[in-house]
Structure 1
């Protein structure tokens, strides 16, 4: 029997109403809405700084001018231990967005992890991993007390509003050919050449639908998710929707070894994990690719640019007087100038980087040692086999 899906419900397609200002407080401040003290340009610069790319800047500025609390959507598959890019970079980015008045919906994509065969497709294991990831963000300092960050489990939300979600997915599927959908396979960590299951072909249609289902104004995801976010903007053309989701794609931190464009959870030498012990961090950084005077493709320098400087607003190198003495860098440009000239050597940079990383990770390590629930979650996650 041929079924003609109805047009996506208007409720799914409209922009989210401004939330109750009484719940918009931010922790650690007497001002219930610190973003209200910022100018439009200040808010724009903070939000824009999150993305390596923004589609489109004029739309972002217009959104911030017209809507006090735009909704940002971010999502993740619970697929194993959390590396530092997902842990620290996401914490930095979420805190920037909430400081500028945004609300952040973090989509715990458990069904998507099952579709993509993560944790062998075992939903119980996937849930354990999801709970472990939330514990890390709590310990890392993500601003969860202000009421502006919401964790949503995809299975629960979709089941609760199935009549809204599935017509939307079907409509997106009908308006795109198979070739266009397969081109989005990068979002799953797959390539167009991989032998995809039918479930993995369905995945991009669902992720595109998420954006509208969550009433997101801004898609705040990595550069590797860009294609499906563009698909969502193209879908707006198909349905004659004027307000398109703004794409704010953040930088992808490379692996620690030479030529690794992206960190890998299955290769423990490629990444620092959020609960790595101090000695593990030291060894990984010591073995990391960091050629003297070479900036391009240098993962240690990327760590400093995207993690250390945004976190501490400076990077301090301790070294002997014969090697130039201690120096604190306030900007990445200043650091690069010294590194390219040879004035700053990897032998001095690496210990300073490891020290700074350990300072960031120490509260997370402590949380997983002292909190019995977190400790149990970590033990279980470490026992799981990571599946591609």
Structure 2
């Protein structure tokens, strides 16, 4: 890729594929002055980076090629403050892992890194000057503004920790302490960016430029994340795993609006390719064809000229080319050791491995997090009144196992019995079985509930769901469900406090929607209701 020389070329490279730019005039003015724009991007050093990180990396590549000075903030303190997503004792190891991995990613797509620097948040965020500015900022920011600014980024709970309210202010102050002209992030950061534009001048600091990436759909068709294990491609996955996972990816023929495979081509592959993207096809289907622009590929796919299987094969081939040097670098003994230390395997519970393999999927943590719940899509095969209780139904429900489970639910009188057979529902499958009027209930049917007047509606999975489909929450990919939720520890009861439906009926834990690989789960007629 040729190095841009004119203001227009640099402007195009810096802003291409962005969804929004706040301060575009200032950016153009700086370029006309011949200034090397100083940009920073921050990432909390929490979970293991996966291929979605190539989306911001591709933009950082654009900035570097345009002659920008790029700072990557390894936000260790932010990660800890955001409801302690990363244990304090692992933060230093994870910042080292992130730095090595990000450098390997940029090198793998041929990016010059002479103007790249890494800074850890704790290198300056614990200084006297920074701490005083935190106090100064807290004297002018309202609780409402702090909570609003972090709404899309910080976990939202009914009783937020003070640390989460501080988070947006710290991110705003980073702009001044890193001495940058612009901050880059996803459009989900917009409220924090506008917060910075409002409050930084009140402390006597300059308003910065803000560059925003769109939220790119993932391989399942939802926001790209590591929440869905089958679609999460780790940067160290081998070639066979990459092929297997992309083969399973959502890529509907002709769908150009919500297609994670196509989006990955747009935001990662084609911006970093030196040649056309070649889609290999058999001669009877027209033979191989090359695309110089994403727009041409998108048009061909939309018209049905490119089969999803052929597109997936091309993405698999090109992605493995990018991942090969990363895998090679991390095959060294020192980086293998760092990876194991930064992301240690979960400890086994006392008594050894449970049924189903090493570790048995037992919880690795006592944290109260939703991934401890074994939630699955179920299909009600049959439903009848409980023989010994007028207020209970007795159901047989397929949850993707060899035999259906027997379930007792208190839906009599609130959900018509005839509405239940063949209905797709959401089941909690790892509660301890409990006898109810002489019959053992082996799972719990999840419903939205309002008390006054009493209304109950079973949660509805997306159309096309199948029994056994996993229900997950974004951001909790490294945790597996407890083998069984112990009644004395009241894990479900503590999680259930934050299970509610939103204003549009989406089922949520805090601000995280219940979702499957096909989309979000809803209670269409019950909004702002508790879930139990």
Q: Do both proteins adopt the same fold according to a TM-score greater than 0.5, normalized to the shorter chain?
A: yes
Match status 1:100 vs 2:66: yes
Contact 2:217 2:223 in 1 (8 A): yes
Query: Which residue in 1 is equivalent to 2:178?
Result: 214
**Equivalent residue in structure 2 for 1:358, among 310, 317, 320:** 320
The one-character-per-residue Cα deviations of 1:328-362 (angstroms, maximum 9, x if unpaired) are 11111111221111111112111111111111111
Question: Which range is displaced more, 373-382 or 287-296?
Answer: 373-382
SS at match of 1:316: strand
For the pair shown, which has the larger CA radius of gyration, 1 or 2?
Answer: 2
Work out the CA distance in 2 between the residues paired with 1:344 and 1:308.
17
**Equivalent residue in structure 2 for 1:331, among 276, 283, 293:** 293
Work out the CA distance in 2 between the residues paired with 1:46 and 1:333.
17
SS at match of 1:293: coil
Work out the CA distance in 1 between the residues paired with 2:112 and 2:263.
30
The one-character-per-residue Cα deviations of 1:231-273 (angstroms, maximum 9, x if unpaired) are 11112453565x4200001233322213x22413x43223322
Describe how 1:5-16 pairs up with structure 2 within 5 A: none
SS at match of 1:267: coil
Give the TM-score, by structure 2 length: 0.61
Query: Which residue in 1 is equivalent to 2:118?
Result: 151
Query: Which residue in 2 is equivalent to 1:185?
Result: 150
Q: Give the root-mean-square deviation of aligned CA atoms.
A: 2.4
The answer to which structure, 1 or 2, has the higher relative contact order (CA under 8 A, 6+ apart) is 1
Query: Which residue in 2 is equivalent to 1:316?
Result: 278
Given the superposition, is the C-alpha separation of residues 365 and 100 from structure 1 closer, same or farther in structure 2, using an over 3 Å criterion?
A: same
Query: Which residue in 1 is equivalent to 2:160?
Result: 196
SS at match of 2:198: helix
Contact 1:253 1:263 in 2 (8 A): no
Query: Which residue in 2 is equivalent to 1:257?
Result: 220
Work out the CA distance in 2 between the residues paired with 1:164 and 1:382.
33
Query: Which residue in 1 is equivalent to 2:198?
Result: 234
Number of residue pairs matched by the alignment: 346
Q: What is the CA-CA distance between 1:132 and the residue it aligns to?
A: 1.2
Query: Which residue in 2 is equivalent to 1:77?
Result: 44
Match status 1:297 vs 2:258: yes
Work out the CA distance in 2 between the residues paired with 1:146 and 1:358.
22
- As a proportion of its length, which structure holds more helix? 1
Work out the CA distance in 2 between the residues paired with 1:67 and 1:210.
24
SS at match of 2:72: strand
Match status 1:248 vs 2:211: yes
Given the superposition, is the C-alpha separation of residues 147 and 102 from structure 1 closer, same or farther in structure 2, using an over 3 Å criterion?
A: same
What 5-or-longer segments of structure 2 have no aligned partner?
A: 347-477, 480-511, 513-532
Query: Which residue in 2 is equivalent to 1:269?
Result: 230
SS at match of 2:117: strand
Given the superposition, is the C-alpha separation of residues 141 and 205 from structure 1 closer, same or farther in structure 2, using an over 3 Å criterion?
A: closer
SS at match of 1:51: coil
Give the TM-score, by structure 1 length: 0.82
Q: What is the CA-CA distance between 1:146 and the residue it aligns to?
A: 4.9
Contact 2:173 2:200 in 1 (8 A): no
SS at match of 1:75: strand
Contact 1:285 1:354 in 2 (8 A): yes
**Equivalent residue in structure 1 for 2:141, among 176, 179, 186:** 176
Query: Which residue in 2 is equivalent to 1:25?
Result: none
Query: Which residue in 1 is equivalent to 2:472?
Result: none
Given the superposition, is the C-alpha separation of residues 354 and 186 from structure 1 closer, same or farther in structure 2, using an over 3 Å criterion?
A: farther
SS at match of 1:270: coil
**Equivalent residue in structure 1 for 2:5, among 38, 41, 47:** 38
Contact 2:65 2:112 in 1 (8 A): no
